[in-house]
């Protein structure tokens, strides 16, 4: 994604992978972050729709706008109230969801992890001055090397993935373009009260790496992807892990997201 920086909440709000044959590949040089365009975000309110024409506030592609809509799709207001929780945002992108978590759970501390260097730069800028720790790395399990190829997305860097076999009509990777990124093992991450995982196909290995640490989680949010072409299988396996940790699946809030809570 070539995302853009957004303005933080208004002052009156409370603070709180079938494998495809690849052409001769080459590493993609990360581009510079784009100029910032302010976007006001207020959790609980309807997010603004992309405007049309010259001078529009939202000029990014539909794939990029979907990042903002996911804040609504997670249905954060339906999730349990928690006091000063530790939050893991794995696949943080530019930080929209992290910001939403700060609004939903005042006093929380967020650890936001994003592998793409351009997106991570925007994430750091957007989270400046907030109780958000940013880690520029891909999360995987088991970790087999210090660095790995992060394949560029076909439509936007929201689709970047360590996998080469995520095949949705609107989500897939350019196997001839990638950036090398640092890798952290999910087993090395701390236990957290809220865990959100949206890593374009690496969700299942990450949850396996977290293992018994999920027994602390009060909220688990996962966006499954069509690894090997099957989203249903991913959803089944993810739910098995969540259930083993004592978490209960909530009704779908939209966009095929999986939401689990501890009762």
Structural domains of the chain in order of their starting residue, each with its CATH number? 27-261 (3.40.50.150)
- pLDDT at site 33: 45
- pLDDT at site 156: 64
Q: Comparing 103-112, 134-143, 149-158, 218-227, which segment has the lowest mean pLDDT?
A: 149-158
- pLDDT at site 77: 87
Asked whether the predicted pLDDT for residue 12 surpasses 70, the reply is no
Instruction: Tell me the CA distances in angstroms from 130 to 15, 69, 189, one per residue in order.
Output: 9, 22, 20
- pLDDT at site 81: 97
Confidence of residue 256 (pLDDT cuts 50, 70, 90): confident
Asked whether the predicted pLDDT for residue 169 surpasses 80, the reply is no
d(CA 152, CA 160): 5
CA dihedral 253→256→257→259, nearest 10 degrees, is 60
- pLDDT at site 38: 33
Give the mean model confidence (pLDDT) for residues 53-80: 57
d(CA 252, CA 235): 12
DSSP string covering 18-40: -PPPPPS-EEPPPPPPPPP----
The per-residue pLDDT of the chain, averaged, comes to: 78
Asked whether the predicted pLDDT for residue 18 surpasses 50, the reply is no
Give the mean model confidence (pLDDT) for residues 91-99: 90
β-pairing verdict for 86-90 and 138-140: unpaired
Tell me phi and psi for residue 204, to 5 degrees.
Answer: -65, -50
d(CA 191, CA 181): 24
């Amino acid at each position: 994604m070539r995302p853009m920086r957004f303005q933080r909440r208004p002052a009156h709000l409370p603070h709180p992978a079938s494998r495809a044959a690849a052409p001769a590949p080459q590493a993609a040089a990360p581009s510079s972050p784009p100029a910032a365009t302010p976007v006001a975000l207020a959790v609980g309110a309807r997010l603004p729709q992309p405007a049309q024409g010259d001078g529009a506030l939202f000029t990014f592609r539909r794939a990029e706008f979907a990042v903002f809509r996911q804040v609504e799709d997670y249905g954060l207001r339906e999730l349990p109230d928690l006091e000063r929780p530790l939050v893991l945002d794995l696949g943080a992108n530019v930080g929209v969801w992290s910001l939403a978590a700060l609004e939903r759970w005042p006093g929380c501390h967020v650890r936001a992890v994003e592998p793409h260097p351009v997106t991570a730069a925007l994430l750091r800028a957007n989270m400046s001055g907030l109780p958000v720790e940013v880690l520029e790395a891909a999360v995987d399990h088991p970790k087999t090397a210090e660095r790995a190829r992060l394949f560029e997305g076909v439509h936007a860097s929201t689709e970047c993935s360590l996998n080469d076999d995520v095949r949705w009509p609107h989500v897939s990777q350019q196997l001839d373009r990638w950036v090398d990124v640092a890798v952290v093992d999910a087993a090395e991450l701390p236990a957290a009260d809220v865990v959100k995982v949206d890593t374009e196909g690496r969700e299942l290995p990450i949850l396996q790496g977290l293992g018994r640490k999920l027994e602390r989680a009060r909220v688990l949010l996962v966006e499954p992807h069509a690894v090997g072409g099957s989203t249903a299988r991913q959803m089944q396996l993810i739910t098995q892990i969540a259930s083993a940790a004592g978490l209960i699946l909530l009704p779908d809030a939209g966009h095929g997201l999986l939401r689990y809570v501890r009762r």
